A and B are shown apart, each in its own frame.
Chain A
Amino acid sequence: MQKEFGGRAIVLDRSDINTDEIIPAKYLTEVTKEALKPYLLEDLKLEGFDPDGDVLAEARVVVSRENFGCGSSREHAPWVFEVNGIHTIIAESYARIFRQNMFNCGMLAIELPRDAIDALIAMAAAAPLDVTVDLEGEKLTASAGGQTLNYDFDISSFDKALVVAGGWVEFADARY
């Protein structure tokens, strides 16, 4: 089943946020996704960021910079976002394994160019930022404090099919 996308966004204004920061290895001993929930971004190195704060708790979308999700292959990284209700990430670029893990879980890893990310970050600095996603039309709308911006994004046919199917297991099981 397709997931819900969009919602209130949190900005993580840094490049190279790695999967150890998203979910530290010591929690990889959990064998259910739900158990990961309290530990989201616990080790993130970013000034002013509070992993226990309301901003993260309310977020449904993450906006970030380059090479998001680099490092370990742990799918616990998308899962810990998923169990916290964050199904959409918007960044300049991704590490390959993280990006594929997101789509494999039926979640969205959207790439936007730097100037678009700059604009989203500037909007979020002024007022709470909300994002709506039109997957079929490959468009997203960002609004904050009365201001609205529209962006087109590209997603490969394969990745879109995974999102629609609800993930790679469903897709592969039906086909191979």
Chain B
Amino acid sequence: MGKTLAEKIFDSHLRDEPFPGTKVLNIDRVLCHEITTPVAIADLVWRGKDRVFDRTSIKAVIDHVTPAKDSKTATQAKILRDWARRHDIPDFFDVGHNGVCHALFPEKGFIHPGHTVIMGDSHTCTHGAFGAFAAGVGTTDLEVGILKGVCAFREPATIRVNLDGVLPTGVFAKDVILYVISRLGVNGATDKVIEFRGGVVDQMSMEARMTLCNMAIEAGGTSGVCMPDKVTVDYLWPFIENDYVGKEAALAAFSKWCSDDDANYVEVMDVDVSSLEPQVTYGYKPDCVKPVSEMAGTPVDQVYIGTCTNGRIEDLRQAAEVLRGRQVAATVRGIVSPATPKIFNDALADGIIQVFMDSGFCVTNPTCGACLGMSNGVLAEGEVCASTSNRNFNGRMGKGGMVHLMSPATAAATAITGVITDARTL
């Protein structure tokens, strides 16, 4: 019997099995942000164990509320900043260089096929797009990761999702993943890895693959994963060109992580995307998903484009294409937050920022901001937001607010009309 990518990574990183079924893995990347890390730092200090297992394996960013909005968020940022300086962590990203963690760290080339990655953030599953096992953890797991470089898991079973057919024009990775979550349900993948396979994934950019893997957690999944291939090599090449004699050698090295043909899956889901419509959520759970045609006409107060799901350059391009030459409806506040400084810069160079501004969007600095209702566009009671983020929980973007999740193209079309709109009908 062959092995899945996740099983291969578990085998290669196994440090200990203290009890049957509990695998303690060596961790290659311990990622930190200012919301969940400060309590871990405080606890390590309190225990007299203010140490890090390896300063170069730890990467840290201030991204959730930045620049700080008040004294409390300034304190959180300061705790992380002081700690990063104290331990001389080379890859620490602060104001001017910071961006949404799950967009920034991949963009820096930190995540490679075969890596184990943890972060005190549920959307860490995003990094599985590189053929890594990447799992969100709590502050205690993060603390042990920082101190010891290990983390304990039950070995996850894998669900294989075959995405076949041809994506229709105007339908994107976000629509695919919303549809897949609606099929799996919000706990359909609990304790499991979701492996995205098939011709549709092979054709996707790394950005689109990250959008897929980002939302694995919304079905309860431990990690989303894609098989490393030529697209992965091309994306990482600037960071690895000194490690391999050529791209073929890198591809050969990466390929060993791919799931074997005879690997074992607990579930296989076949999806033909050829007739898929753009998808939109209703209600307060990410598996409450309908085709846009059934949601069209729903009024919104705000449109938010950005986040670790859809704040990458490809996403901004898709939105800008819809917005070009058009105006945001008078009843709508449009907010766009490019996910990293590089994305912001590329969007400037491409003229995309101009398109957003001409249409009446407010362009913010890279940050999580309104995604979790902490800053930069919090909703008032009773308000509705069309968002490219990943969670529509009650109160997620502000107490009493309602969120509809959708692709950047659908969000842009919605901004123009003021009601949920299929971009293909404009």
Contact = CB atoms under 8 A, between A and B. Distances in A.
B373 A73 contact: no
Interface residues of B, number: 58
Interface in A12-29: 16, 18, 20-21, 24-26, 28-29
A96 B222 contact: yes
Contacts of B374: 25-26, 28-29
Given A25-B372, A73-B136, A176 B395 contact: no
Contacts of B75: 31
A91 B329 CA distance: 46
Contacts of B85: none
B79 A43 contact: no
Contacts of A66: 187
B76 interface: yes
Interface string B180-194: 000000110011000
Nearest to B15: A176
Contacts of A127: none
A169 B120 contact: no
Interface string A83-124: 000000000011111001100110000000000000000000
Contact of B191 (A96, A101, A158, A169): A96
Given A73-B122, A172-B144, A67 B186 contact: yes
Interface string B249-288: 0000000000000000000000000000000000011000
Nearest to A45: B394
Interface string B138-149: 111101100110
B22 interface: yes
Contacts, number: 148
Given A71-B391, A101-B140, A156 B220 contact: no
A1 B74 CA distance: 34
Interface string A60-92: 000000110011111100100000000000000
Interface residues of A, number: 44
A45 B392 CA distance: 13
A168 B399 contact: no
B150 interface: yes
A136 B393 CA distance: 37
Given A16-B285, A67-B187, A75 B395 contact: no
A140 interface: no
Interface stretch (B31-39, B170-178, B229-237, B352-360): B31-39
B136 A93 contact: no
Contacts of A72: 122, 372, 391
B36 A161 contact: no
Given A25-B372, A29-B76, A175 B141 contact: no
A175 B393 contact: no
B47 A21 contact: no
B393 A21 contact: yes
A169 B395 contact: no
A24 B222 contact: no
Contacts of A156: 19, 21-22, 154
A43 B140 contact: no
A73 B140 contact: no
A112 B221 CA distance: 21
Nearest to A35: B72
B121 interface: yes
Interface of B: 15-16, 18-22, 24, 35-36, 38-39, 42-43, 47, 49, 64-65, 70, 72-73, 75-76, 79, 120-122, 124, 136-141, 143-144, 147-148, 150, 152, 154, 186-187, 190-191, 220, 222, 284-285, 372-374, 391, 393-396, 399
18 contacts: A24-B373, A24-B399, A28-B35, A28-B374, A29-B72, A31-B38, A66-B187, A70-B220, A74-B36, A75-B139, A95-B190, A96-B190, A100-B137, A100-B152, A158-B21, A172-B148, A172-B150, A176-B148
Given A16-B186, A75-B36, A96-B191, 8 more contacts: A20-B372, A21-B393, A25-B373, A31-B42, A72-B372, A100-B141, A101-B139, A176-B24
Interface of A: 16, 18, 20-21, 24-26, 28-33, 43, 45, 66-67, 70-75, 78, 93-97, 100-101, 104-105, 156-158, 161, 167-169, 172-173, 175-176
